[in-house]
Amino acid sequence: MKVLTRILILVICLAPWNKALLMAQFRHDIRTITKPWTATPVVQGNNFRFIVTGDITGGEEPGVLEYAIKRINELSPDFVITVGDLIDGYTYDSSRIEKQWDSFLSTLGVLEMPFFFAAGNHDITNQLMKDIWTKRFGPEYYSFSVGKSLFLVLNISEAGTHDFSEAQYSFVWQEVKKHPENDPVFVIQHYPLWEIQDNNKVNSLLTLLKNRNVYWFCGHEHRYMHKTINNQPHYMLAGLATGGPGMQGIAFGEYHNMMQVSVRERDIKIANLDLAGLLPLNIVDETTEKQVNTLRSGNWVHLTPVFLLTDSVNELHTSILLNNTSDFPFEISSAFDKNMNFAINPPYIKQLLQPNERLTIPVVVSFDTKVSVWEIPEIKLSLNVQCMQPGHNLHGSVTKKLTVDYLKKCTKISQLPEFLYPAQIPAYVDEAWDWKGLHDSGFELKTHHDDKYLFIEISVTDDILLTSIKNPQADKLSVWFATDTALQTSDYLKFDFVAGVTKAEINQNSKTYKSIQTESKITENKLVAKVTIPLKLVKYNYFRINLAYQDVDDPLNMDYATLWWKPYWDSTDDYKGAGLFILE
């Protein structure tokens, strides 16, 4: 009985010491009151497991994060760490930022283990968001140790500056120098480093850690990729709770992704997890990267735009350009959508395309009678492709819409014509999820000239028109003008009309133009902008225009839609004749 009592007393006395020993396996030097983690992990010795999660926002799917947390609880790691992008962010509204963090933390509240924060571009976009991060979580980059492993949680784009500062590099240098050379190092950051290696400090970071036992984790692109740099593994995680119906599947690295890392002293085991199951680490790596990038981009097929010299036609002559830039053959099948109003020859295609082979297939669209350009129905080409890479099931699909454009006339009359070129679905919409259609915003254009001047007027209709008078961000119309009509011209003018400002800011790219007049006004929900250009500058009777409208809607939102009338200049989708006018 005395022996049992002594043992019991010894256990009681040692309990605090045992707990202190376990806690000592987690070490850090952060001195701020708030910490960038939800709780302190408790581990035993140098054996532990942790989960790395992919992006949560930037197209978050409702309910997926909640489901993922349940699965993580079932895996029961010692702690969880993120690669960033936890809230929508991109705003100057402090109350909105606070609510977004409150909502995220409320959802995270059911997680049964500590969670470590890392900053993504959605989490810290401006100084206000940085201040809120600091208030809630402390430093935007930091380190900690668990057992023999060092964790470096970095912010490669500090406070929206898109820079890896000297201060942060110095911090990393000091942490690395005092860490034993052969012990594991885990680097967590949002951006994939291989995309920003033109940054000298990033290159210095890679060099600093070159001969270490390092494992790198990042996100941002919402797709999985495994690369090896300096004989070290780099894992870019797909989004944990982002994606939706547009995801192209596991073979493309597009799935709901997290990774489990098991540490046994210096022995590291990494498991690649989809919420639906366990995947190989090399599901997308250097051996398939070229093929996957080709298929994901959709650039293996190009449907040539049709440019007409008149505004009505009996036939359209276009072509399909197939281009296999991968290292393996492509088997391509395609067909145009059927329509009773026209006939297409050939109606479908089946083609085997060898690596680095380009093939152009002429296509003729025939109408029963002559039709005007704006009466031509939508013509779509649907294509499927199978990459014949042994051991991999790489296939994709894409739909291309035929662009039909024509040479527009700038008439010589004494006043602007009543006719405006009708509002059309824009060629492109950046941040398209913020645009609801032509009832949200759209533009119309009209031109004419007299003996001395060329007159251009653009009318923008916007359901929520924000001016610079009361708002930190305002709607803005940009007008590109060039008399050099070649593609990728370096000689153009850009006029920026900010809603509420009567004159445009003129950005000159090469030549200096004088005697140009600009004006704009607001009438109800319309922004009307006018440009007057000396006719002598139009030397060869042709000029080219493009329009872009920045539709803000919310003055505190930094992530707004931009409507482009034609493909933006210098892009691969720009085509000869886009936005082309002739003096009549």
Q: Say yes or no: 393 and 413 in one domain.
A: no
DSSP, collapsed to helix, strand or coil, labels residue 192 as coil
pLDDT tens column, 390-401:
988 899 889 999
Identify the CATH number of the domain in which residue 302 sits.
Answer: 2.60.40.10
Contact 527, 477 (CB under 8 A): yes
Identify the CATH number of the domain in which residue 534 sits.
Answer: 2.60.40.1190
The Cα 60–Cα 90 span in angstroms is: 15
The range of the structural domain enclosing residue 122 comes to: 45-284
Residue 330 within a domain? yes
Q: Say yes or no: 300 and 249 in one domain.
A: no
CB neighbourhood size of 488 (10 A):
8
DSSP, collapsed to helix, strand or coil, labels residue 528 as strand
Q: Say yes or no: 354 and 266 in one domain.
A: no
What DSSP letter does each residue of 137-161 carry, written as one string?
H--SSEEEEETTEEEEE--SSGGGS
Q: Say yes or no: 275 and 307 in one domain.
A: no
Q: Say yes or no: 241 and 345 in one domain.
A: no
Identify the CATH number of the domain in which residue 111 sits.
Answer: 3.60.21.10
Q: Say yes or no: 202 and 109 in one domain.
A: yes
User: Is residue 384 within a helix (H) or strand (E), and if so which, with residue range?
Assistant: strand 380-387
Contact 150, 184 (CB under 8 A): yes
The Cα 264–Cα 17 span in angstroms is: 23
Which of 284, 317, 338 finishes a domain?
284
Token pair 């153009």 is found at 492
What DSSP letter does each residue of 278-316 carry, written as one string?
EE-TTSSSHHHHHHHHHHHH-TTEEEPPEEESSSEEEEE
pTM for this entry: 0.79
213-218 vs 404-406, strand pairing mode: unpaired
Q: Which two tokens stand for residue 122?
A: 């959605």
Exposed e or buried b per residue across 350-380, where buried means at least 16 C-beta atoms within 10 angstroms of its C-beta: ebebeeeeeeeeebebebeeebeeeebeebe
- List beta partners, residue 303: 320
Token pair 């000396």 is found at 534
Q: Which two tokens stand for residue 91?
A: 């705003």
pLDDT tens column, 512-570:
566 899 999 998 889 999 999 999 889 889 999 999 999 999 888 888 899 999 999 88
The Cα 98–Cα 119 span in angstroms is: 15
User: Is residue 58 within a helix (H) or strand (E), and if so which, with residue range?
Assistant: none
The Cα 257–Cα 280 span in angstroms is: 12
Which of 405, 425, 446 finishes a domain?
405
Residue 494 within a domain? yes
Which of 370, 405, 440 finishes a domain?
405
Residue 97 within a domain? yes
- List beta partners, residue 427: none
Residue 58 within a domain? yes
* Confidence (pLDDT) at 88: 93
User: Is residue 170 within a helix (H) or strand (E), and if so which, with residue range?
Assistant: helix 166-177
The Cα 455–Cα 453 span in angstroms is: 6
The Cα 124–Cα 163 span in angstroms is: 13
What DSSP letter does each residue of 7-48 carry, written as one string?
HHHHHHHHHHHHHHHHHTTEE----SSS-SBSS----BTTEE
- Count of structural domains, the chain: 3
Contact 103, 241 (CB under 8 A): no
Residue 24 within a domain? no
Q: Say yes or no: 125 and 193 in one domain.
A: yes
Residue 383 within a domain? yes
Q: Say yes or no: 440 and 322 in one domain.
A: no
CB neighbourhood size of 487 (10 A):
14
Q: Say yes or no: 245 and 200 in one domain.
A: yes
The Cα 339–Cα 449 span in angstroms is: 40
Written as tens digits, the pLDDT of the chain (584 aa) is 555 555 444 444 444 444 444 445 899 999 999 999 999 999 888 899 999 999 999 888 889 999 999 999 999 999 999 999 999 999 999 999 999 999 999 999 999 999 999 999 999 999 999 999 999 999 999 999 999 999 999 998 775 566 688 899 999 999 999 999 999 999 999 999 888 766 778 888 999 999 999 999 999 999 999 999 999 999 999 999 998 777 888 989 999 999 999 999 889 999 999 998 888 899 999 999 999 999 998 889 999 999 999 989 999 999 999 999 999 999 999 999 888 888 999 999 999 999 999 999 999 999 989 999 888 888 999 999 999 999 888 998 899 999 999 999 998 887 666 555 555 678 888 887 778 888 899 989 999 999 999 999 999 999 999 999 888 889 999 999 999 888 877 788 999 999 999 999 988 754 556 689 999 999 888 999 999 999 988 988 999 999 999 999 988 888 889 999 999 988 888 999 999 999 98
149-153 vs 184-188, strand pairing mode: parallel
Residue 18 within a domain? no
Q: What is the CA radius of gyration of the chain?
A: 29
Q: Which two tokens stand for residue 396?
A: 């994709």
The Cα 346–Cα 148 span in angstroms is: 66
Q: Say yes or no: 217 and 349 in one domain.
A: no
Q: Say yes or no: 251 and 368 in one domain.
A: no
Q: Say yes or no: 225 and 78 in one domain.
A: yes
- Strand intervals (E) in 155-230: 184-188, 213-218, 225-229
CB neighbourhood size of 514 (10 A):
6
Residue 505 within a domain? yes
